[in-house]
A and B are shown apart, each in its own frame.
Chain A
């Protein structure tokens, strides 16, 4: 806080001379740095940039600067700008590279997939991926700077034109001339739709009355920022075209399906083409889930796997509900294409193109609304006669639910006599009506009792009961030895021969000296003579 206050005080108290001094100092420093850096080889500087960028990006640098208003040239905060020319020349150099060397490098890379690739070119390609995110960040940084400054001139423009590049282009064209905006219409036409132009013109003409005019110095600053953004955008395009050109040679089929950017992301994430070919299709959407491009903040809630594949152009603009299935389709084909690339059977990417056509066909099918089926016609309202007819069984069934004679009699009352009544268990009085008094002596038996409601058993049920009874009895017999049901009488004279054998037990029952009467008693085994047993039962 104190430092800040001091600076503020300095600002207020300082003379114009001091201002100039302050302004001059950093510029000088930058220049010296620039000179120093140019001695260091390009590759190292690029790597250094990539390493350091996360720690100190240009936005932070600008925010940390105490007095933004005093800075003449905002573009010096760009970290990429000094490297711009060299990156471009490298791209030129590598893109005009002869193919033989490249093939050799690819061969090595595909064989020794795990080892660190040695080629400088390969390393450059790897760094481009990170570089592109840095460039994107710088574009947003300087775009927001332009927005901040241009707000006083034309505040509505940023809400009308959301795309940063388009916004900057428009600023470059119309500058501060809101009044004569109509004259720029033809210049705007190539990159903005007619309706948008109309909206811009209307908004600008309304703004004319309360427009703030920037002075030349500020305008110059603003335009330099604009030019920087456009240059960075150019660089981004160069990089992507370079990458796609390279990749069309490394992985032509994969490139044909998902485009150069996603291909490079996938290749870098997996390490090499061989690794990509070995990856399972189901794992492909998960690659790069926490990537930098998901900072766009409109990450879908429906889809969990917002990886590189999700952010590829072919998937990104599809509706949520089919994205998942589309990603599944694409990942399958990408792996197939990667294998084709690995085997080099289709160097021109015909298979990739074929797969892409298939995928597009499938997407179209998924996007189709469901076919609406016509109403099904109702069946004829013909009454079918019920199959139930009368008969003995049906009559009996109905009889069981009929009111009994006794109940009918209970409901009747005799004229001129007091009704007998009883109290039930709930203390309620129940009249007995004529059920008592119908006979001369008032007995219930005079009324025929309804036998229809008696509990009945079907023939099958009685049979079954008999069977089970029999079974139970035989079991009982075998368990309890002294069952007196099975004691039968026999003529002792006829059994004399086996008196010592099977009947020895019985004879013991009779005592030590078996007398003639008891000797006639035998015990039979049910298993031997079941019929006899039944009769006794």
Chain B
């Protein structure tokens, strides 16, 4: 239940400010519904690594029911099988990552290993520092099976 300590973004304005305010850290925003199991698990994983990655990334949570402003723009809540959507920003720029899933814009599948998630965040941060907009994930997730 540690994820309640992560900052929740209550309005669209908060989301904007979160993305804009960070100068040299990666902003990770999890869009989703906390009441859903998969999302809950992911929140816990994010919370457990949030202390470790605090030097180069910050994690925010956002409920897409309370803040529907971005649902159209970021194509959130389009696919019912999508448990959550994690997006990465650096200096107000959306960072893309090639997970091999076909959608480079977001991370929308379960990652149960904390180290794997840290590796992805580190890779994105490195790419962002070099001015890249798209990085390749350290692991290929094309074979990922989604529970429906």
Contacts and interface: CB of A to CB of B under 8 A. Distances in A.
- The answer to whether A binds B is yes
Interface residues of B, number: 11
B51 A374 contact: yes
Interface string A364-382: 0000000000111111111
Nearest to B54: A377
Contacts of A428: none
B126 A378 contact: no
Which secondary structure characterizes the binding site on chain B?
loop
Interface string B32-62: 0000000000000000000111111000000
Q: Of A378, A379, A382, A383, which is in contact with the most chain B CB atoms at under 10 Å from its CB?
A: A378
Interface string B108-126: 0000000000100010011
Which secondary structure characterizes the binding site on chain A?
loop
A5 B40 CA distance: 79
A337 to B, nearest CB: 48
B124 to A, nearest CB: 10
Contacts of A379: 55
Contacts of B125: 380-381
B129 interface: yes
A380 B26 CA distance: 11
A97 B53 CA distance: 76
A378 B129 contact: no
Nearest to B122: A381
A375 B126 contact: no
17 contacts: A374-B51, A375-B51, A376-B52, A377-B51, A377-B53, A377-B54, A377-B55, A378-B52, A378-B53, A378-B55, A378-B56, A380-B55, A381-B122, A381-B126, A382-B126, A382-B129, A383-B126
A382 B122 CA distance: 9
B52 to A, nearest CB: 5
A382 B56 CA distance: 10
A378 B52 CA distance: 5
Nearest to B51: A375
A374 B54 CA distance: 12
A374 B5 CA distance: 14
Contacts of A374: 51
A1 to B, nearest CB: 72
Nearest to B56: A380
Contacts of A380: 55-56, 125
